[in-house]
Amino acid sequence: MSRKLILIAVMLLAAVLAACAPKAPSLDLTSWKLLKLGDKSVPSNIEITASFHNRQITGKSACNSYFGGYTQKNNEVKISQLGSTMMACLDEGVMQWESEYLQALVKVKSFQLANSQLDLLDANGSPVMSFGK
């Protein structure tokens, strides 16, 4: 075979392999319950959730409801323009969890999804938080 034919065959094989490469799953139309924030497990009296729909993230942030935008490209995700309701909760620790969660959301740069667990990761690939169904 000539070099030209070998080069064409290699290029075709590379294109086929690239097309067959696994794509990151979409976060759209998924809902989650927070299990861990950093290395801390969420206490049973705290409820923090995240739902992804049509480039919007919404949920409960321990005390208040929150909302914002998100963009996803493959396994990269960016959460932005966060806002929330402004109720105060008096139960011990609730507002602290809420504050830490909302601050952590904007640090998210990518995600991993496996075995019904969603891990949101920072720029270094370290887990910021983990969710389950």
Predicted confidence pLDDT, tens digits, the chain (133 residues): 577 666 565 566 555 555 555 577 999 999 999 999 999 999 999 999 999 999 999 999 999 999 999 999 999 999 999 999 999 999 999 999 999 999 999 999 999 999 999 999 999 999 999 999 9
User: What pLDDT score does 13 carry?
Assistant: 59
Cα–Cα distance list, 36 to 2, 32, 52, 53, 109 (Å): 58, 12, 18, 22, 17
The confidence score (pLDDT) of residue 24 equals: 78
Sequence-separated (6 or more) residues with CB below 8 Å from residue 123: 107, 109
Sequence-distant (6+) residues with CB within 8 A of 60 are: 47, 48, 49, 66
Q: For 31, list phi and psi in degrees, rounded to 5.
A: -135, 145
> In this predicted structure, what is the pLDDT of residue 5?
61
Which H or E element spans position 69? strand 65-73
Note whether 97 and 60 are within 8 A (CB).
Answer: no
The label of the residue with tokens 């490469």 reads 21
Domain map (residue ranges) of the chain = 24-132
CATH 2.40.128.270 for domain 24-132, yes or no, is yes
